[in-house]
Structure 1
């Protein structure tokens, strides 16, 4: 029963926020008030609020309460390795992937550089996918995979989750990524494959993805429409001995 109440609170406020009934910046009732309204415990309420915060719908401020976030922009985690499928399931919005290219090609000098390959001839998988959210193409993903590590990659796989295939079928241990974020002029390809409206710039996230054995096997350019995404990360300031230790490793 507690689980049902927890989900009911979450769903009630999720629908009110999405419908615009609760605007950005609106303070929602306190844990005590919600516990009385739903005739449940504060712990159950806290679980529902935590899920709303985790999924980017509210922001909890210590000693002040919980406030509705602007959901016109979707939080895209800079610090994690999250597939589009995982992200779209989390935000709960209508989404679709359109595969424009899925082919095995000789690596260009640029891709050889990004994947740190030697100068010999290399074949790589090039996958170009537009990502639609609520019927607008707002992301263009350009992925390149080493074919000696990913020997087969079909259009059907690319239209779903490539990471699910790599981890569950090829049993690759994807470990970490280096990311570089920049704002750049939109290219002709961006204008052709994305719904940019009047925007002339895009946010570009370049990902260099490594396996558990430190092999660099994937390079990705993820190109985003400016108004739809904000890139988030969480950082904690070190204190005391922890701060001294950090400074000794990374002097400013």
Structure 2
């Protein structure tokens, strides 16, 4: 016999998928759900945790549980999360295709951005991210070889951050990010499914190791209909 919290989870998930519970609305309170399903608040909490893990709701302290738009994926702005970690958390049907891997010539703008010396070597990887067979993210990453040696193509298809942290034993510390909305480039139109779209959301990041060494510049270009970029902000009084 199926456990009750699973049955409640499946019932609520179906209502969200069918828009009986529309996006951006609040779910009933835990007490109201417990009464409606004739069960305990603990059982309801288990169901809500599954909904949160599945990307159906977002719990907001002091407000309750907000129904998320299932056509959009939440990407954290302030955190440093690898694409692989994110797709696994959101349980997305995803594929990464490596389009380009090469070592860059000295004197490029990227050398200036990464503050590279004349003897520094930078390698570049261009990857297209497919979600549910749609090409919706173009990632262009640049790494200083003195910190991150050029890995295999298979590593780039899997997770470069996993390679950095577990094979190289480096600790990634923090990032500076800039978010803009831009017109698609010819490369965007060539590599992404952009028919009917006239803008892309661009996130540029400078990423540092724990010892403050700058080792990566990344430009991530997103089709705008599939993502929401989320952050948590706390007011600090003077």
| TM-score, normalised relative to structure 2 | 0.87
- Structure 1 residue 44: Cα displacement: 3.8
Q: Show the 5 A alignment for 1:1-252.
A: 6=5, 9-18=8-17, 20=19, 22-36=21-35, 40-50=39-49, 52-53=51-52, 56-60=55-59, 65-118=64-117, 120-238=118-236, 243-244=237-238
CA offsets 1:162-206 (integer angstroms, 9 cap, x no match)? 111110111010011010111112111100000011222211100
Is contact 1:142–1:221 with CA below 8 Å preserved after alignment? yes
Further displaced range: 165-174 or 105-114:
105-114
- Structure 1 residue 70: Cα displacement: 1.7
Structure 2, unaligned stretches of length 5 or more? Answer: none
Aligned residues: 237
Structure 1, unaligned stretches of length 5 or more? Answer: 245-252
Is contact 1:102–1:154 with CA below 8 Å preserved after alignment? no
Moved over 6 A (4+): 61-64
Is contact 1:183–1:201 with CA below 8 Å preserved after alignment? yes
Q: Distance in 2 between matches of 1:204 and 1:76?
A: 13
* Match in the other structure for 1:248: none
SS at match of 1:227: helix
Q: Distance in 2 between matches of 1:47 and 1:237?
A: 31
CA distance 1:94–1:152, change in 2 (3 Å)? same
CA distance 1:12–1:103, change in 2 (3 Å)? farther
Is contact 2:111–2:122 with CA below 8 Å preserved after alignment? no
| TM-score, normalised relative to structure 1 | 0.83
C-alpha RMSD of matched pairs (Å): 2.6
- Structure 1 residue 108: Cα displacement: 4.6
CA offsets 1:13-46 (integer angstroms, 9 cap, x no match)? 3354345454324553431243345554313423
